């Protein structure tokens, strides 16, 4: 599953390539990933002009001049543009970490929904924050020197502030590098991203920590493979 930087990279690339173009025909590799009736496709998609390519969390939205949009999450659906904010996912999803309204105070508030969880589980929760998955959770926790198992309620204000800065920096760097190619992700032009070469802990188990040279370990937190430096990131739960 791609995370925010990968979806953003695809969005920017697609926007450049397809806005203003007309949809001539439609084809797909996997019928289950395109659950739309032929009638809807003919009426709202074929012949329509693409007016914008937007993103919310990890969801890509292609707006058409028929006032319908293609909403691409795990499946691609056609939907009236006006109904998008009513999709269950859109109603529940947390704030966009790269928007100017997102501040360290907002991060602190959002995290309070998961006071008793580990910070890693809270970061992966899309209702807390939009678009963060395993890679960027591990990278930003390393940057902030926070152990992924630390309980949200134990985090100090300065730690939350540092975590906020790290989340924003890690996501920005990844977008700059075209995302991280993991399994089957490629950008709008079919190219791979290079962020993973810049990762500090993710998939770097048994290698030295770039900050203190201690060997990075891989463990399991929140049910996910988790990479951390056992010296820089110490659990501080009471």
Q: Least distance from C-beta 154 to Zn ion, angstroms?
A: 20
Q: Least distance from C-beta 217 to Zn ion, angstroms?
A: 11
Question: Among residues 135 and 141, whose Cβ is nearest to Zn ion?
Answer: 141
Question: Among residues 119 and 229, whose Cβ is nearest to Zn ion?
Answer: 229
Q: Least distance from C-beta 171 to Zn ion, angstroms?
A: 22
Q: Least distance from C-beta 149 to Zn ion, angstroms?
A: 16
Task: Write the CB contacts of 88 (distance below 8 Å, at least 6 apart in sequence).
Answer: none
Catalytic positions are 2-3, 58, 224
Q: Could you identify the residue written with the tokens 């937007």?
A: 54
Question: Among residues 203 and 211, whose Cβ is nearest to Zn ion?
Answer: 211
Rounded Cα distance between 96 and 91, Å, is: 13
What is the phi/psi pair of residue 194, to 5°?
-120, 10
Please report, as ranges, the residues that interact with Zn ion according to CB under 5 A. 209, 211-212, 214, 229, 231-232
Question: Among residues 155 and 232, whose Cβ is nearest to Zn ion?
Answer: 232
Q: Which tokens is 123 given?
A: 């970061």
């Amino acid at each position: 599953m791609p995370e925010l930087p990968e979806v953003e990279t695809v969005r920017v690339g697609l926007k450049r390539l397809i806005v203003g173009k007309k949809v001539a025909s439609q084809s797909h590799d996997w019928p289950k990933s395109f659950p739309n009736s032929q009638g809807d496709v003919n009426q709202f998609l074929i012949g329509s002009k693409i007016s914008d390519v937007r993103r919310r969390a990890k969801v890509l939205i292609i707006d058409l001049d028929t006032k319908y949009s293609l909403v691409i999450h795990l499946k691609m659906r056609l939907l009236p543009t006006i109904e998008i904010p009513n999709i269950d996912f859109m109603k529940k999803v947390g704030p966009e970490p790269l928007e100017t309204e997102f501040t360290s105070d907002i991060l602190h508030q959002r995290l309070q929904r998961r006071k008793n969880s580990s910070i890693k589980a809270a970061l992966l929760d899309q209702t807390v924050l939009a678009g963060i998955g395993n890679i960027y959770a591990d990278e930003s926790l390393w940057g902030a020197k926070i152990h992924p198992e630390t309980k949200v309620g134990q985090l100090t204000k300065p730690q939350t502030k540092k975590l906020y800065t790290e989340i924003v920096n890690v996501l920005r760097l990844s977008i700059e590098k075209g995302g991280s190619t993991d399994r089957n992700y490629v950008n709008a032009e079919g190219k791979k991203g290079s962020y993973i070469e810049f990762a500090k802990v993710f998939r770097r188990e048994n290698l030295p920590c770039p900050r203190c040279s201690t060997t990075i370990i891989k463990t399991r937190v929140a049910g996910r493979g988790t990479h951390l430096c056992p010296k820089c990131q110490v659990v501080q739960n009471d």
